Amino acid sequence: MMGVGVGLIGSGYMGKCHALAWTSVATVFPDVERPRLVALADATPELAQQHAQAFGFGRGTGDWRDLVANPAIDVISIAAPNQFHAEMAVAALEEGKHVWCEKPMATSLEDATRMRDVAKQSGRAAILGYNYIQNPMIRHARRLIAEGKIGTVNHLRLEMDEDFMANPGEPFYWKSERASGYGALDDFAVHPLSLLAVLHGRVTAVVADMARPYPERPTTDGGFRPVENDDIAQALFRTETGASGVLMVNRAAWGRKGRIALQVFGSNGSILFDQERMNELQIYSTDDAAGLQGYRTLLAAPSHPPYRQFIPAPGHGLGFNELKVIECYELLQAISGKRDAHVIDFERGLEIERVVHAMAQSAEGGVWVKV
């Protein structure tokens, strides 16, 4: 049997992450065929060829359309700049390729909607790079919640924070331009929302606020330029079950590096998670005897699939990049026709984008907005 033929567009950090996933997935998961790494596209032929060789791809090209046209390629990884996602994904799907597209889905709701529509018509697997949902601890949390271990979920708090915009002395660059998006809301909110989607359900209403900690930033010529978007955003929300919640994102939060903290409260217990300690999950359960109730820290282990495929011993730890290997595996499942592959496809991805846009709309108007 032959593995799928792979084309990769983009070989920056996320492209490298995809390449690692494609080269590792069959080593890790014994039930998939080793993919054929057919070709890699990047901005220039030279760059493409250099990375094709380093990453183990057959050839490199300066034109991503070569990949779309190549009949040896079954699936296309899109790790190119955000503004090209829609065009590339649509072209690939229309050519009958499966698509693995990095987030954000697109730079406008219109583009995202079109991607969803084309994906639906194509019948191909079309998924987004929401790798945090692949963490075995998140998947374990999902199972525990589904099994009713913490009862009916009634409240959720979601935080995502980093500090790459925290330095007020950092010169103005494109991240602070309005054209790059709302700011923290675009950069971060989709991630905790993807976790909310798999752990709980849909957001139905939001009221949001966005804030600009540094109204202006220095420019390289010694002046100052007004900041055009918001490094901080927060929203109160309600979900389809009536649960209440809070979403907080901050890309200027000194000390936070890769924090995605979840607090999920239910009628019988609660679950805590923080991506900065991605191999741990905390659960409090009223099933425990009185005098013995407390948050229990679970360490990632073979009993939390698919951890066992990586390491047969508990507590040894997976890394961020390995979540992408799991995502790649789930994509292969989806390509094989598995209905309930654990992925965020374009349909669910569009729902997430809608929540983000509702938040932005609410922040502008100062009122609750229905999603």
Number of alpha carbons in the 13 Å side-chain half-sphere of residue 63: 5
Q: What is the DSSP letter of 60?
A: E
Minimum CB–partner distance for residue 249 and its own copies (Å): 11
Minimum CB–partner distance for residue 205 and its own copies (Å): 9
3-state class (DSSP) for residue 364: helix
Q: Considering beta carbons, is residue 89 or 300 the nearer one to its own copies? A: 300
Minimum CB–partner distance for residue 40 and its own copies (Å): 11
Distance CA 338, CA 306 (A): 17
Q: Considering beta carbons, is residue 96 or 226 the nearer one to its own copies? A: 226
**Cα 37–chain centre separation:** 23
Distance CA 154, CA 165 (A): 33
Distance CA 183, CA 176 (A): 7
Q: Considering beta carbons, is residue 24 or 361 the nearer one to its own copies? A: 24
- 342's CB contacts (< 8 A; 6+ apart) are 133, 134, 139, 198, 330
Q: Considering beta carbons, is residue 29 or 84 the nearer one to its own copies? A: 29
Distance CA 141, CA 200 (A): 10
Report residue 195 as tokens. Answer: 């976790």
CB atoms within 10 A of CB 218: 15
Q: Among all chains, which residue has been given the structure tokens 């927060």?
A: 234
Residue type for 101, please?
C
- 173's CB contacts (< 8 A; 6+ apart) are none
Minimum CB–partner distance for residue 83 and its own copies (Å): 20
Name the nearest CA neighbour of 136 among 328, 301, 284, 343: 301
Q: Considering beta carbons, is residue 156 or 352 the nearer one to its own copies? A: 156
Q: Considering beta carbons, is residue 123 or 290 the nearer one to its own copies? A: 290
Minimum CB–partner distance for residue 127 and its own copies (Å): 21
Distance CA 92, CA 115 (A): 11
Minimum CB–partner distance for residue 59 and its own copies (Å): 14
Q: Considering beta carbons, is residue 270 or 333 the nearer one to its own copies? A: 270
Minimum CB–partner distance for residue 212 and its own copies (Å): 9
